[in-house]
Chains A and B, each alone.
Chain A
Amino acid sequence: MATIDLSVTTVREANELLRKYGADGIDVEVLNPDARHHIGVGLTHPINVHIKGSAGYFCGGLTDGPRFHVDNNVGWGVGDNMLNGSIVVDGNASAIPGVAIRGAEVVVKGNIGSRAGQVMKAGTLLACGNASFMAGYMMYGGRLVILGNSGEKVGQDMTGGDIYVAGKIGEMGTDAMLIDLPQKERDEILAFLDKYKIPFTGTFQKIVNAGKKLRYPKTEPRRRAIPFFESFADNSYWNAKVQEDIHVKSQIGRYRIRGYGASRPMPHLSDIAFKKDIRIGAMTDPDVISKIEMKTEVGGRSGANPLKLSMPVMIAPMSYGALSKSAKLALAIASRLSGISENTGEGGMSKEQREEAHQLIYQCLAGRLGWNIHDMQKANGLEIYISQGAKPGLGGQLMAKKVTPEIARIRGIPAGIDLRSPSRHPDVLGADDLVIKVEEFREATGYRVPVSVKLGAGRVRDDIKIAWKDGFDFVELDGMQGSTGAAGNEVLEFVGIPTLSAIQEARDALTEVGGLDMPVILMGGIKDGIDTIKALALGAHAVAMGTSAIIAGGCIACLQCHAGTCVTGIATQDPEHEKRYNVPVEARNIHHFLESVRWQIAAITHAMGYSNPHQVTRDDLVALTPEAAAITRLPYHPEYRERDQGLLKAS
């Protein structure tokens, strides 16, 4: 048995030591924990860890295998996302104990705080005392056993799993109901209690999901898809899309879901032009790429290993789930061929994707769908998703047709539901909590992997300052011209903030707090190398491309991404549809497109007389419309429009 004394060792050092002892199979005793945060985070070996006192936030979080014993209390999020192993807490647990566990056993001898077992997927969370507000909130699976009283709103919006309450049941949560307790399940719980030597002879009431909110009551009727450009090409008031919307709503009686992003004309990078003279002749130089330095590093500002991009471009986050495995694979291959990074999006990391992409960012969403310590440790970047440009403030939607058994298994949710992912992180209810969360990710990966945040443009000025204060290595900032696999049409059209405003506000905010050392990756309607250079000049460090990469890989922009019957095999989980997708061909197409972006970046940079696209500044830009000028404070020069169009043709 080894000993670690936290009165003389930092938690960071202690966690490194724990990993070392874990690898050697040595049990550990932790002295003087004094309620410090992150004790035991990231441990993946089945050793015993005895914490002699109280532990703080995320004790034993992001782990697989260890058995913790805590002599006193624990703070928020004990056992966060734990796969296998156990945590026994002799005292009380604060809020969200057992959050997102995926098989672990978390036993609390005292009382547990609010939102116990939020988004848990599998395993057992046991409270010997009372639970608090919203126990079992949005749980997807596993069992929550409460020997005391349940607290108010028990089982609120639970999707799956079982809650057993021995004491008094407070107000039931929405979409939860009481059912009879099968004898077999009581016996199983008693056996569990016996295993942890907890004397109990009573019985339980059982709470499960009532099934009223798992599916939209009526599915949208199938219609011939009207492509994006056709839908909105006609500027007349009662255009084809408006009429179709009204017809469909008259049948389903609710908002419509569709794929893609905002269609309304809005100020964008196309309303900005280059002011500096461009030598069109220089663009025809066949060696132009070799003359321009555009390698871009992102994510090293706090000492982590940065992403090394061959150009200031990334693939934007899109989930396996919204997209087929084949489409994700093609993106991964293309990202490798072009020397840039790929991003998992919400639905977890697939083995094939990991193997193909050389630089892969792994995204953590509020539902913790597909999130686990092993993939975190395999990732080249970790990203906390706060929201998305196409639907800021809302969680993802994945219609039942796409929630196949395989997708459900990876995400840890029941198959065949209309998945509406939570929009709020269980353990991030403010900037103060977020600091502690970021630190947990760093502890879990030994401070080697950059941690970024994805922000949908909303209150950019405030959000970006918080991101900087919370020490993120970079921000992916997403404007409303970005797309999504599924969202309410009204949200897509009327909620977001244009990409152009987003980058301007971000730049202003970072200048105000002296935070320009934090890179901003701009996304949301970035079409090509020209947009990329404009974004860079306006203050972005790089851009990320989603829609354009998908179109390069065969998307026909029919807006039916949500339906699950994508004819190109991109936005589907149906093997019949997916087999139409030719991975090597589409990977090559995406790669070719990315190389055209590289060429554009090089040609324009060169033609402006620079040697690096990062040298282009605001002084090289003008605004073509009064709106764009107002947003960016660039000089208004509509006369540059003609030249800008010439440039488009030339490139």
Chain B
Amino acid sequence: MCGIAGILYKNSAAADSGVGKALIDMLDACQHRGPDSTGFSLYRDPVPGHLRLRFIVGDGEVAAKAIERVKTKLTEFQAKIVEEEQRGSSFAVLVKFDGDLQKFAFEMEHAAKLSSIGESLDIIKDLGGAFDVDNVYKIENFKGTHGIGHVRLATESDVAPEATHPFWATGFSDISIVHNGQITNYYKMRRRLEKRGYFFNTDNDSELIAVYLADKLKHGFSLKDALKTSIEDLDGTFSFLVSTKDEIGYAKDKLAAKPMVKYEDDKIIAIASEEVSLNRLFPGRALNTSEPAPGTYDTWQRSISA
């Protein structure tokens, strides 16, 4: 039960247009849809041969112990810490690592709650509104080409940083999703994916979408084709956004029960639950927006030449 937002600047020249500020504004505009917590998927500059990991560790003594466990585990995997930062309820590291990512990710889960792993992906999420999270994590000045975000109103699961979106596709680098709705065949699909050896970090149905898509990508599907099959395979009501290192995409269920509006021009594609979020990017302007039709999907790619 939530609001979602995503933005992609199509040309690398626009990369300093400010993804962080745009996402904060869009999420603040739809904060009424989800006052409990807010999260952002940001894509930072990749460092070749390195991975970014962010853990949710809490604070005080609990955090100190979790960080210790993380460091021990990293040593086991000979992942050398290049940079580290503890901020808010999270602990982020940049490590040199070139082993089996999936095994690494599942093992790191045992050290602390993983928020994201990626060459670029950094998922920042915490309790409170968009501005609250920005105050702690300083997202406003983040530049980049694309990102997605989410405001959450917890309905069944807890109000906690780890239950906040975006969800990382546990075990896969750089894939994240934000979702508004409910997947009703969650357990059926989860068991199917678990049989294939995937590990689930939470009981949240949105994580399933991320892992589902990542599995498809692993098997050679394009993001667009993976979105296409998701509409057939997932039951329920959903409007979701997915992002990878180079792309963002959306899918909308056939029942058209959850809102989604998109705006596109030469420079950007922006998608949000409500037009009021899009209008925040262009105050005072009447935007030429459209609503994706039920059962549709699409993707957009950033210019790779950057």
List residues of A whose CB falls within 8 A of some B CB: 7, 32, 34-37, 52-54, 56-57, 71-73, 75-76, 91-92, 94-95, 111, 113-115, 132-134, 152, 429-432, 435-436, 439, 462, 465-466, 469, 513
Contacts and interface: CB of A to CB of B under 8 A. Distances in A.
A57 B286 contact: no
A76 B259 contact: yes
Contacts, number: 114
A92 B153 contact: no
Most buried by A among B275, B288, B289: B275
Contacts of A32: 283-284
B181 A430 contact: yes
A327 B285 CA distance: 55
B2 interface: yes
Given A36-B276, A54-B279, 11 more contacts: A35-B276, A35-B278, A73-B286, A75-B259, A92-B289, A114-B255, A133-B294, A432-B33, A432-B153, A435-B32, A466-B153
B258 interface: yes
A76 B2 CA distance: 16
B149 to A, nearest CB: 15
Contacts of A34: 276, 279-280, 283-284
A90 to B, nearest CB: 9
Given A95-B259, A436-B32, A53 B290 contact: no
B35 A469 contact: yes
B1 interface: yes
A351 B284 CA distance: 45
Contacts of B279: 34-35, 53-54
Q: Which 4 pairs show the lowest CB-CB distances between chains A and B?
A: A72-B286, A114-B256, A35-B275, A34-B279
Nearest to A434: B1
B156 interface: yes
27 contacts: A34-B283, A35-B287, A37-B276, A52-B286, A53-B285, A53-B286, A56-B274, A56-B276, A71-B286, A73-B289, A92-B290, A94-B275, A95-B256, A95-B259, A113-B256, A113-B291, A114-B257, A115-B256, A152-B294, A430-B180, A431-B153, A436-B33, A462-B156, A466-B153, A469-B35, A469-B36, A513-B159
Interface of B is mostly: loop
B231 interface: no
Contacts of B36: 469
A153 to B, nearest CB: 10
Nearest to B272: A35
Contacts of B256: 95, 113-115, 132-134
Contacts of B261: 94
Interface string B142-161: 00000000000111100100
B3 interface: yes
B289 A53 contact: no
A462 B259 contact: no
B257 A429 contact: yes
Interface string B249-293: 000001111110100000000000111101110011111111101
Nearest to A52: B286
B34 interface: yes
A94 B32 contact: no
Contacts of A95: 256, 259, 291
A431 B276 contact: no
A171 to B, nearest CB: 12
A316 B238 CA distance: 36
B237 interface: yes
Nearest to A113: B291
A43 to B, nearest CB: 20
Contacts of A113: 256, 291
Contacts of B284: 7, 32, 34, 53
B276 A133 contact: no
B255 A469 contact: no
Contacts of B180: 430, 432
Nearest to B156: A462
A71 B279 CA distance: 14
A32 B285 CA distance: 8
Nearest to A94: B291
A93 to B, nearest CB: 9
Contacts of B273: 432
Nearest to B284: A32
A461 to B, nearest CB: 9
B286 A7 contact: no
A175 B155 CA distance: 35
Contact of B237 (A132, A429, A462): A429
Interface string B27-53: 000001111100000000000000000
Contacts of B285: 53
A513 B127 CA distance: 14
Contact of B275 (A56, A462, A469): A56
Given A75-B275, A95-B259, A432 B283 contact: no
Nearest to B289: A73
Contacts of A133: 254-256, 294
Given A75-B274, A132-B294, A432 B3 contact: yes
Contacts of A54: 275, 279, 286-287, 289
A430 B275 contact: no
Nearest to B34: A432
Most buried by B among A35, A73, A95, A432: A432
B159 to A, nearest CB: 8
A7 B274 contact: no
Contacts of B237: 429-430
Contact of B258 (A37, A72, A429, A513): A429
Given A92-B290, A133-B255, A429-B258, A57 B274 contact: yes
Contacts of B293: 132
Contacts of A152: 294
Contacts of B294: 114, 132-133, 152
A134 B254 CA distance: 11
Nearest to A431: B1
B182 to A, nearest CB: 8
Nearest to B257: A429
A56 B275 CA distance: 7
Contacts of A465: 154-155
A439 B31 CA distance: 14
A426 B283 CA distance: 30
Contacts of B34: 432
A435 B153 contact: yes
Nearest to B253: A133
Contacts of A439: 32
A217 to B, nearest CB: 29
A97 B10 CA distance: 33
A282 B293 CA distance: 70
Nearest to B33: A432
A133 B154 CA distance: 28
Interface string B170-190: 000000000011100000000
B165 to A, nearest CB: 13
Interface in B16-35: 32-35
Contacts of A430: 1, 155, 180-182, 237, 258
Contacts of A513: 159
Contacts of A469: 35-36, 153-154
B157 to A, nearest CB: 10
A125 B121 CA distance: 46
A466 B3 CA distance: 16
Nearest to B276: A35
A35 B35 contact: no
A32 B283 CA distance: 7
Nearest to B278: A35
B2 A432 contact: yes
A531 B46 CA distance: 66
B259 A94 contact: yes
B272 to A, nearest CB: 10
Contacts of A37: 276
